[in-house]
Amino acid sequence: MNSEVYVAGSGCTKFGELHDRDAGDLAREASFRAVEDAGVEMKDVDAFYVGTVRSGAAGSFLAGAIGVRGRPVTRVENFCASGMDAVIHACIAVMSGSARVALAVGVEKLRDALRRGLGFRAGHPVWGFGATPPGLFALAANRYMHEYGIGRETLAKVAVKNHRNGAKNPLAHFRREVTLERVLKAPIVAYPFGVFDCSAVTDGAAAVVVAARDAATGLGKTGVTIKGFGSSVMHGNPMYDPAFEYLGFPVTEEAARKAYGMAGIGDPLKELDFAEVHDCFTMTEILNYEDLGFAPKGEGWKMVEEGATEFDGRFPVNPSGGLKSFGHPVGATGARMIFELHSQILGRCGERQLGKADVGLAHNVGGPGTVSSVMILGRT
Protein backbone atom coordinates (compact mmCIF):
# COMPACT_ATOMS: atom_id res chain seq x y z
CA MET A 1 0.00 0.00 0.00
CA ASN A 2 1.16 3.43 -0.90
CA SER A 3 -0.40 5.77 1.58
CA GLU A 4 1.01 8.99 0.13
CA VAL A 5 -1.05 10.59 -2.61
CA TYR A 6 -0.24 13.93 -4.20
CA VAL A 7 -2.46 16.27 -6.13
CA ALA A 8 -0.34 16.69 -9.23
CA GLY A 9 -2.74 18.90 -11.12
CA SER A 10 -6.26 20.27 -11.33
CA GLY A 11 -8.45 22.08 -13.80
CA CYS A 12 -11.88 23.64 -13.93
CA THR A 13 -14.14 24.99 -16.64
CA LYS A 14 -16.14 28.17 -16.38
CA PHE A 15 -19.42 27.32 -14.64
CA GLY A 16 -22.68 28.65 -16.06
CA GLU A 17 -25.23 28.22 -18.82
CA LEU A 18 -22.87 26.71 -21.33
CA HIS A 19 -25.31 26.12 -24.18
CA ASP A 20 -22.59 25.78 -26.82
CA ARG A 21 -20.92 22.80 -25.13
CA ASP A 22 -22.11 19.35 -24.17
CA ALA A 23 -21.07 17.19 -21.21
CA GLY A 24 -18.25 15.59 -23.21
CA ASP A 25 -16.88 19.02 -24.15
CA LEU A 26 -16.87 20.09 -20.50
CA ALA A 27 -15.29 16.86 -19.24
CA ARG A 28 -12.62 17.14 -21.97
CA GLU A 29 -11.74 20.75 -21.10
CA ALA A 30 -11.45 20.04 -17.36
CA SER A 31 -9.50 16.80 -17.90
CA PHE A 32 -6.95 18.32 -20.30
CA ARG A 33 -6.50 21.36 -18.05
CA ALA A 34 -5.76 19.00 -15.15
CA VAL A 35 -3.27 16.81 -17.03
CA GLU A 36 -1.54 19.89 -18.46
CA ASP A 37 -1.36 21.35 -14.95
CA ALA A 38 0.19 18.06 -13.77
CA GLY A 39 2.63 18.08 -16.66
CA VAL A 40 1.55 14.66 -17.91
CA GLU A 41 -0.12 13.45 -21.06
CA MET A 42 -3.41 11.56 -21.18
CA LYS A 43 -1.51 8.39 -22.19
CA ASP A 44 0.40 8.57 -18.89
CA VAL A 45 -2.78 8.26 -16.82
CA ASP A 46 -3.44 4.72 -15.61
CA ALA A 47 -7.05 4.98 -14.42
CA PHE A 48 -9.98 7.34 -14.86
CA TYR A 49 -13.00 8.11 -12.68
CA VAL A 50 -15.93 10.18 -13.86
CA GLY A 51 -18.30 11.54 -11.22
CA THR A 52 -21.70 12.45 -12.59
CA VAL A 53 -25.33 12.00 -11.64
CA ARG A 54 -27.08 12.30 -14.96
CA SER A 55 -24.65 13.24 -17.76
CA GLY A 56 -23.46 10.86 -20.45
CA ALA A 57 -23.56 7.11 -20.06
CA ALA A 58 -21.13 4.64 -18.47
CA GLY A 59 -17.36 5.18 -18.58
CA SER A 60 -17.42 5.17 -22.37
CA PHE A 61 -18.73 8.71 -22.30
CA LEU A 62 -15.47 9.98 -20.76
CA ALA A 63 -13.28 7.61 -22.80
CA GLY A 64 -14.80 9.01 -25.98
CA ALA A 65 -14.58 12.62 -24.83
CA ILE A 66 -10.87 12.47 -23.99
CA GLY A 67 -9.80 9.81 -26.51
CA VAL A 68 -8.49 7.04 -24.30
CA ARG A 69 -8.86 3.27 -24.54
CA GLY A 70 -7.30 0.17 -23.05
CA ARG A 71 -7.55 1.55 -19.51
CA PRO A 72 -10.23 1.46 -16.82
CA VAL A 73 -12.78 4.26 -16.81
CA THR A 74 -15.17 4.02 -13.86
CA ARG A 75 -18.36 5.96 -13.47
CA VAL A 76 -19.15 7.11 -9.91
CA GLU A 77 -22.58 8.25 -8.78
CA ASN A 78 -23.53 9.28 -5.27
CA PHE A 79 -25.85 12.27 -5.53
CA CYS A 80 -24.04 15.53 -4.74
CA ALA A 81 -20.91 13.67 -3.57
CA SER A 82 -20.33 12.08 -6.99
CA GLY A 83 -17.44 14.36 -7.96
CA MET A 84 -15.60 14.07 -4.67
CA ASP A 85 -16.18 10.32 -4.58
CA ALA A 86 -14.54 10.12 -8.02
CA VAL A 87 -11.48 11.90 -6.57
CA ILE A 88 -11.48 9.59 -3.54
CA HIS A 89 -11.58 6.52 -5.79
CA ALA A 90 -8.70 7.91 -7.87
CA CYS A 91 -6.75 8.25 -4.61
CA ILE A 92 -7.64 4.67 -3.63
CA ALA A 93 -6.38 3.45 -7.04
CA VAL A 94 -3.06 5.17 -6.38
CA MET A 95 -2.90 3.94 -2.78
CA SER A 96 -3.54 0.37 -3.90
CA GLY A 97 -0.63 0.57 -6.32
CA SER A 98 -2.82 -0.30 -9.28
CA ALA A 99 -2.31 3.19 -10.71
CA ARG A 100 0.65 5.54 -10.48
CA VAL A 101 -1.32 8.42 -11.93
CA ALA A 102 -5.12 8.62 -11.86
CA LEU A 103 -7.55 11.24 -13.09
CA ALA A 104 -10.93 12.08 -11.60
CA VAL A 105 -13.34 14.36 -13.40
CA GLY A 106 -16.66 15.61 -12.11
CA VAL A 107 -19.08 16.83 -14.75
CA GLU A 108 -22.71 17.76 -15.12
CA LYS A 109 -24.71 19.18 -18.01
CA LEU A 110 -28.02 20.30 -16.57
CA ARG A 111 -29.12 23.27 -18.63
CA ASP A 112 -30.04 21.28 -21.73
CA ALA A 113 -33.31 20.33 -20.09
CA LEU A 114 -33.74 21.72 -16.59
CA ARG A 115 -34.94 25.17 -15.68
CA ARG A 116 -36.63 24.88 -12.29
CA GLY A 117 -34.50 22.66 -10.11
CA LEU A 118 -33.34 19.09 -10.33
CA GLY A 119 -36.53 17.32 -9.40
CA PHE A 120 -36.17 14.20 -7.36
CA ARG A 121 -36.87 10.60 -8.20
CA ALA A 122 -38.09 8.84 -5.11
CA GLY A 123 -37.96 5.42 -6.72
CA HIS A 124 -41.49 4.60 -5.54
CA PRO A 125 -44.88 5.67 -6.88
CA VAL A 126 -46.06 7.08 -3.56
CA TRP A 127 -43.40 7.06 -0.84
CA GLY A 128 -41.30 10.19 -1.15
CA PHE A 129 -43.22 11.45 -4.17
CA GLY A 130 -42.96 15.14 -4.96
CA ALA A 131 -39.86 15.81 -2.89
CA THR A 132 -37.43 18.35 -4.33
CA PRO A 133 -33.87 19.18 -3.25
CA PRO A 134 -34.81 22.59 -1.77
CA GLY A 135 -37.87 21.03 -0.13
CA LEU A 136 -35.81 18.29 1.50
CA PHE A 137 -33.23 20.69 2.92
CA ALA A 138 -35.91 23.18 3.94
CA LEU A 139 -37.23 20.48 6.29
CA ALA A 140 -33.96 20.86 8.19
CA ALA A 141 -34.11 24.65 8.00
CA ASN A 142 -37.57 24.94 9.53
CA ARG A 143 -36.69 22.48 12.28
CA TYR A 144 -33.42 24.29 13.08
CA MET A 145 -35.11 27.69 13.06
CA HIS A 146 -37.83 26.33 15.34
CA GLU A 147 -35.26 24.81 17.72
CA TYR A 148 -32.82 27.72 17.94
CA GLY A 149 -35.04 30.67 17.15
CA ILE A 150 -33.04 32.11 14.26
CA GLY A 151 -34.70 33.89 11.34
CA ARG A 152 -34.33 34.01 7.57
CA GLU A 153 -31.88 36.93 7.98
CA THR A 154 -29.19 34.64 9.35
CA LEU A 155 -29.59 32.29 6.40
CA ALA A 156 -29.46 35.25 4.05
CA LYS A 157 -26.08 36.31 5.43
CA VAL A 158 -24.59 33.06 4.12
CA ALA A 159 -25.76 33.97 0.62
CA VAL A 160 -24.40 37.51 0.92
CA LYS A 161 -20.99 36.20 2.07
CA ASN A 162 -20.64 33.56 -0.61
CA HIS A 163 -21.76 35.82 -3.43
CA ARG A 164 -19.27 38.44 -2.22
CA ASN A 165 -16.52 35.82 -2.59
CA GLY A 166 -17.85 34.56 -5.90
CA ALA A 167 -17.98 38.03 -7.41
CA LYS A 168 -14.18 37.93 -7.55
CA ASN A 169 -13.98 34.46 -9.09
CA PRO A 170 -13.76 34.44 -12.91
CA LEU A 171 -14.97 30.82 -13.13
CA ALA A 172 -18.12 31.36 -11.07
CA HIS A 173 -21.59 31.26 -12.66
CA PHE A 174 -22.75 34.34 -10.74
CA ARG A 175 -20.29 37.19 -10.32
CA ARG A 176 -22.40 39.81 -8.60
CA GLU A 177 -22.69 40.66 -4.96
CA VAL A 178 -26.16 40.60 -3.45
CA THR A 179 -27.61 42.68 -0.65
CA LEU A 180 -29.31 41.22 2.40
CA GLU A 181 -32.52 42.94 1.37
CA ARG A 182 -32.47 41.40 -2.10
CA VAL A 183 -31.94 37.92 -0.68
CA LEU A 184 -34.82 38.34 1.75
CA LYS A 185 -37.21 39.77 -0.83
CA ALA A 186 -36.58 37.13 -3.50
CA PRO A 187 -39.43 34.79 -4.43
CA ILE A 188 -39.82 31.73 -2.21
CA VAL A 189 -38.70 28.40 -3.65
CA ALA A 190 -39.34 26.17 -0.63
CA TYR A 191 -40.11 28.03 2.56
CA PRO A 192 -37.98 29.36 4.23
CA PHE A 193 -35.69 29.28 1.18
CA GLY A 194 -35.95 32.07 -1.34
CA VAL A 195 -34.18 31.98 -4.70
CA PHE A 196 -30.92 33.27 -3.16
CA ASP A 197 -30.97 30.63 -0.45
CA CYS A 198 -30.63 28.00 -3.20
CA SER A 199 -27.77 27.04 -5.49
CA ALA A 200 -28.51 27.21 -9.18
CA VAL A 201 -28.94 24.64 -11.93
CA THR A 202 -25.66 25.02 -13.80
CA ASP A 203 -23.29 23.33 -16.26
CA GLY A 204 -19.63 22.73 -15.47
CA ALA A 205 -16.76 20.33 -14.95
CA ALA A 206 -13.58 20.06 -12.87
CA ALA A 207 -10.80 17.50 -12.84
CA VAL A 208 -8.00 16.42 -10.55
CA VAL A 209 -4.86 14.38 -11.28
CA VAL A 210 -3.52 12.43 -8.31
CA ALA A 211 -0.17 10.65 -8.31
CA ALA A 212 1.93 8.32 -6.22
CA ARG A 213 5.11 9.69 -4.62
CA ASP A 214 7.52 8.49 -7.32
CA ALA A 215 5.33 9.77 -10.14
CA ALA A 216 4.71 13.12 -8.41
CA THR A 217 8.39 13.51 -7.63
CA GLY A 218 9.28 12.82 -11.24
CA LEU A 219 6.83 15.51 -12.32
CA GLY A 220 7.98 17.95 -9.66
CA LYS A 221 4.41 18.12 -8.35
CA THR A 222 4.74 17.22 -4.71
CA GLY A 223 3.44 20.52 -3.30
CA VAL A 224 -0.01 19.32 -2.21
CA THR A 225 -0.80 16.08 -0.38
CA ILE A 226 -4.07 14.28 0.25
CA LYS A 227 -4.12 14.31 4.07
CA GLY A 228 -7.32 12.39 4.60
CA PHE A 229 -10.71 11.47 3.28
CA GLY A 230 -13.88 9.82 4.47
CA SER A 231 -17.34 8.96 3.19
CA SER A 232 -20.61 7.94 4.76
CA VAL A 233 -23.91 6.86 3.25
CA MET A 234 -27.16 6.04 5.03
CA HIS A 235 -30.61 4.95 3.83
CA GLY A 236 -32.36 7.43 1.59
CA ASN A 237 -35.49 7.99 3.69
CA PRO A 238 -34.50 10.29 6.57
CA MET A 239 -37.90 11.95 6.33
CA TYR A 240 -39.46 8.65 7.43
CA ASP A 241 -36.87 7.96 10.14
CA PRO A 242 -38.01 8.81 13.70
CA ALA A 243 -34.37 9.03 14.81
CA PHE A 244 -33.47 11.75 12.30
CA GLU A 245 -33.29 15.05 14.18
CA TYR A 246 -33.01 17.40 11.20
CA LEU A 247 -30.50 19.52 13.13
CA GLY A 248 -27.60 18.40 10.99
CA PHE A 249 -26.59 15.46 8.88
CA PRO A 250 -25.08 12.43 10.67
CA VAL A 251 -23.38 11.33 7.43
CA THR A 252 -21.29 14.51 7.46
CA GLU A 253 -20.19 13.87 11.04
CA GLU A 254 -19.28 10.30 10.16
CA ALA A 255 -17.39 11.22 6.98
CA ALA A 256 -15.54 14.00 8.83
CA ARG A 257 -14.61 11.70 11.71
CA LYS A 258 -12.93 9.34 9.25
CA ALA A 259 -11.16 12.13 7.37
CA TYR A 260 -9.91 13.79 10.58
CA GLY A 261 -8.71 10.42 11.85
CA MET A 262 -6.77 9.76 8.67
CA ALA A 263 -5.30 13.28 8.66
CA GLY A 264 -4.52 13.16 12.39
CA ILE A 265 -6.62 16.25 13.06
CA GLY A 266 -7.93 16.71 16.58
CA ASP A 267 -9.15 20.28 16.54
CA PRO A 268 -10.35 21.15 13.04
CA LEU A 269 -10.83 24.86 13.70
CA LYS A 270 -7.21 25.21 14.80
CA GLU A 271 -5.59 22.77 12.44
CA LEU A 272 -7.44 23.70 9.26
CA ASP A 273 -6.96 27.09 7.60
CA PHE A 274 -10.09 27.17 5.44
CA ALA A 275 -12.89 25.03 4.05
CA GLU A 276 -15.05 24.58 0.99
CA VAL A 277 -18.34 23.19 2.30
CA HIS A 278 -21.54 22.14 0.61
CA ASP A 279 -23.71 25.27 0.56
CA CYS A 280 -26.39 23.78 -1.71
CA PHE A 281 -28.72 25.86 0.44
CA THR A 282 -27.82 28.55 2.94
CA MET A 283 -29.05 26.47 5.86
CA THR A 284 -26.84 23.57 4.79
CA GLU A 285 -23.71 25.67 5.26
CA ILE A 286 -24.66 26.46 8.85
CA LEU A 287 -25.42 22.80 9.60
CA ASN A 288 -22.09 21.87 8.02
CA TYR A 289 -20.19 24.11 10.48
CA GLU A 290 -21.65 22.04 13.31
CA ASP A 291 -21.37 18.62 11.65
CA LEU A 292 -17.75 19.27 10.65
CA GLY A 293 -16.87 20.39 14.16
CA PHE A 294 -16.25 24.08 13.38
CA ALA A 295 -18.95 25.08 15.90
CA PRO A 296 -20.78 23.35 18.77
CA LYS A 297 -24.25 21.95 18.04
CA GLY A 298 -26.81 24.71 17.80
CA GLU A 299 -24.19 27.43 17.43
CA GLY A 300 -23.20 27.24 13.77
CA TRP A 301 -25.40 30.23 13.04
CA LYS A 302 -23.29 32.36 15.41
CA MET A 303 -20.27 31.95 13.11
CA VAL A 304 -22.34 33.58 10.36
CA GLU A 305 -23.58 36.38 12.58
CA GLU A 306 -20.02 37.04 13.84
CA GLY A 307 -18.59 37.05 10.32
CA ALA A 308 -16.13 34.34 11.37
CA THR A 309 -16.34 32.57 8.02
CA GLU A 310 -16.00 35.63 5.80
CA PHE A 311 -13.06 35.74 3.38
CA ASP A 312 -11.09 37.80 5.92
CA GLY A 313 -12.66 36.15 8.97
CA ARG A 314 -10.90 33.92 11.47
CA PHE A 315 -11.93 30.78 9.52
CA PRO A 316 -12.82 31.45 5.86
CA VAL A 317 -15.47 29.13 4.43
CA ASN A 318 -16.20 28.94 0.71
CA PRO A 319 -13.61 31.48 -0.43
CA SER A 320 -14.37 30.32 -4.00
CA GLY A 321 -17.92 31.63 -3.71
CA GLY A 322 -19.30 28.15 -3.04
CA LEU A 323 -22.23 26.49 -4.70
CA LYS A 324 -24.07 29.77 -4.22
CA SER A 325 -21.83 31.47 -6.80
CA PHE A 326 -20.79 28.48 -8.90
CA GLY A 327 -24.18 26.86 -9.12
CA HIS A 328 -24.40 23.14 -8.57
CA PRO A 329 -23.62 20.95 -11.58
CA VAL A 330 -24.08 18.00 -9.27
CA GLY A 331 -21.24 15.69 -10.28
CA ALA A 332 -18.83 18.58 -10.90
CA THR A 333 -19.14 20.26 -7.51
CA GLY A 334 -16.94 17.97 -5.39
CA ALA A 335 -14.11 18.00 -7.95
CA ARG A 336 -14.45 21.78 -8.25
CA MET A 337 -13.88 22.07 -4.48
CA ILE A 338 -10.69 20.00 -4.71
CA PHE A 339 -9.58 22.32 -7.53
CA GLU A 340 -10.14 25.29 -5.20
CA LEU A 341 -8.23 23.68 -2.31
CA HIS A 342 -5.33 22.79 -4.64
CA SER A 343 -5.24 26.33 -6.06
CA GLN A 344 -5.39 28.03 -2.64
CA ILE A 345 -2.71 25.81 -1.11
CA LEU A 346 -0.42 26.47 -4.08
CA GLY A 347 -1.06 30.18 -3.64
CA ARG A 348 -2.23 30.81 -7.19
CA CYS A 349 -5.57 32.49 -6.56
CA GLY A 350 -4.41 36.06 -7.26
CA GLU A 351 -6.65 38.66 -5.63
CA ARG A 352 -8.70 35.81 -4.16
CA GLN A 353 -5.70 34.30 -2.41
CA LEU A 354 -6.26 33.60 1.27
CA GLY A 355 -3.57 34.78 3.68
CA LYS A 356 -2.89 31.39 5.17
CA ALA A 357 -3.99 28.35 3.21
CA ASP A 358 -1.82 25.44 4.19
CA VAL A 359 -4.54 22.95 5.10
CA GLY A 360 -8.04 22.96 3.65
CA LEU A 361 -11.15 20.80 3.85
CA ALA A 362 -13.72 20.06 1.19
CA HIS A 363 -17.16 18.62 1.92
CA ASN A 364 -20.22 17.39 0.09
CA VAL A 365 -23.56 16.32 1.48
CA GLY A 366 -26.26 15.12 -0.84
CA GLY A 367 -29.51 13.40 -1.58
CA PRO A 368 -31.95 14.09 1.23
CA GLY A 369 -28.90 14.54 3.50
CA THR A 370 -27.89 10.89 3.30
CA VAL A 371 -24.53 10.82 1.48
CA SER A 372 -21.43 12.74 2.46
CA SER A 373 -17.77 12.87 1.58
CA VAL A 374 -14.98 14.89 3.12
CA MET A 375 -11.40 15.41 1.90
CA ILE A 376 -8.51 17.22 3.52
CA LEU A 377 -5.62 18.54 1.45
CA GLY A 378 -2.48 20.16 2.78
CA ARG A 379 0.83 21.66 1.86
CA THR A 380 3.34 18.83 1.80
Q: Could you give the residue numbers annotated as active site?
A: 80, 328
**Cα–Cα dist 341/349, whole Å:** 10
Name which of residues 250 to 279 contact another protein (CB under 8 A): none
The per-residue b/e assignment along 167-182, b for 16 or more CB within 10 angstroms, e otherwise, is: ebbebbbbeeebeeeb
User: Could you tell me the smallest distance in angstroms from the CB atom of residue 127 to another protein?
Assistant: 5
Q: CA-CA distance, 68 to 65, in Å (whole number)?
A: 8
Using an 8 Å Cβ cutoff, are 11 and 335 in contact? no
Q: Which of 1, 3, 19, 130 binds another protein (CB under 8 A)?
A: 130
Q: How far apart are the C-alpha atoms of 163 and 174, rounded to whole Å?
A: 8
Among the listed ranges 1-9, 26-34, 36-44, 120-128, the one in contact with another protein (CB under 8 A) is 120-128
Stretch that binds another protein, among 77-85, 122-130, 221-229, 311-319 (CB under 8 A): 122-130
What's the start-to-end Cα distance of the chain, in Å? 19
Q: Which residues contact 90 (CB under 8 A, 6 or more apart)?
A: 47, 49, 99, 102, 103, 104, 208, 210
Using the minimum distance from each CB to another protein, give the nearer residue, 293 or 369.
Answer: 369
Report how many residues bind another protein under the rule CB under 8 A. 38
Site for another protein in 215-244 (CB under 8 A): 235, 237, 239-244
Three-state DSSP class for residue 289: helix
Closest among 215, 205, 222 to 339, alpha carbons compared: 205
Q: Which is nearer to another protein, 225 or 372 (CB)?
A: 372
What character string, x for contact with another protein (CB under 8 A) and - otherwise, covers 80-119?
Answer: ------------------------------------xx--
- Which residue from 39, 64, 72, 128 is in contact with another protein, where contact means CB under 8 A? 128
Please, which residue, 67 or 130, has the CB nearer to another protein? 130
Among 3, 69, 113, 124, binds another protein (CB under 8 A): 124
Measured from the CB of residue 33, what is the shortest distance to another protein in angstroms? 34
The C-alpha atoms of residue 317 and residue 321 are separated, in whole angstroms, by 9
Coil/strand/helix, residue 246: coil
| Minimum distance, C-beta of residue 191 to another protein, in the bound complex (Å) | 4
Q: How far is the CB of 7 from another protein (least distance, A)?
A: 36
Minimum CB distance to another protein, residue 132 (Å):
5
Burial class (CB in 10 A: 0-12, 13-18, 19+), 308: middle
Measured CA to CA, the distance from residue 107 to residue 87 in angstroms comes to 12
Please say which residue, 128 or 223, places its beta carbon nearer to another protein: 128
- Assign 196 to helix, strand or coil: helix
Show contacts with another protein in window 139-198 (CB under 8 A).
139-143, 146, 187-193
Residues that bind another protein (CB under 8 A): 116-117, 121, 123-132, 134-135, 138-143, 146, 187-193, 235, 237, 239-244, 246
